[in-house]
Amino acid sequence: MDDGGEASKYGERVHEFLEYRLKENVELPQDIAHYEVLCTTVEKIANGGELSIEKELVLTEELKPTGWWEPDAWLRSKLDILVLRGDTAYVMDWKTGKRNPDFFQMQMFACQVFKHFPQVQKCKTSLVWLKHLQMDTEEYTREQSNQMWADIMKKIRRIYDSAENDVWPARPSGLCRFCPARHDCDYAAL
Ligand code: SF4
């Protein structure tokens, strides 16, 4: 069995049903009905605000908003949940894997939100671990954007350098067991 493939199929299915539930109020199937509590929580947060599901936010290289398929699209993000309420945004990301509160992705989402919605001064982000219904949260302010962009750019530059020099150093981690190349990789951490 390919654990990675199975886990990602499960993740896609859960994402799909949470989307139906929140967009069209379609009841969750029985095996994932326990996620109803998440949907009602999202609805409560969104009360009096604007709720978007699977919201696509895209920036050009000059960090200007653009469309997903536009030729100048450079940084694409898809936010599972985005709520805009006054000067505060709430971002949630559904996670079906093992709990690993790495907030880099959420920092990037917060930066996207600040670029797209000038009224937003505060962005509250949550990683929602579906398996055990746990949540890790971090809050970012517009004042922190410059530092966050500097961190993002550092990572992006590393990718550009690798592409330019065609050097892709292996980075073994707990994720190796989901990697399709793990059986041929000399560095796999299995
Ligand atoms: S198995 Fe090898 S290629 Fe795959 S993630 Fe691990 S180190 Fe990288």
Domains and CATH numbers, the chain: 3-178 (3.90.320)
Q: Is 170 in the pocket of ligand 1 (CB under 6 A)?
A: yes
Among the residues of 25-173, which ranges form H helices?
A: 36-46, 104-116, 145-165
Backbone angles phi, psi at 126, to 5 degrees: -140, 135
Mean pLDDT, range 118-147, rounded to an integer: 96
- With the most atoms of ligand 1 within 8 angstroms of its CB, the residue from 173, 187, 190 to mutate is 187
Using one digit for the tens of pLDDT, what is the confidence trace for 10-38? Answer: 889 999 999 999 999 999 999 999 999 99
Q: List the beta bridge partners of residue 137.
A: 126
Using one digit for the tens of pLDDT, what is the confidence trace for 55-70? Answer: 999 999 999 999 999 9
Q: Give the global pTM.
A: 0.85
- With the most atoms of ligand 1 within 8 angstroms of its CB, the residue from 2, 3, 171 to mutate is 171
For residue 111, count other CB atoms closer than 10 A to its CB: 25
Name the strand (E) or helix (H) holding 79. Answer: strand 75-85
Residue-level length of the chain: 190
Q: Look at 60-69, 81-90, 132-141, 177-186 and tell me which has the smallest mean pLDDT.
A: 177-186
Output the six-digit token pair for 105: 């992705």
- Residue 171: pLDDT band (50, 70, 90) is confident
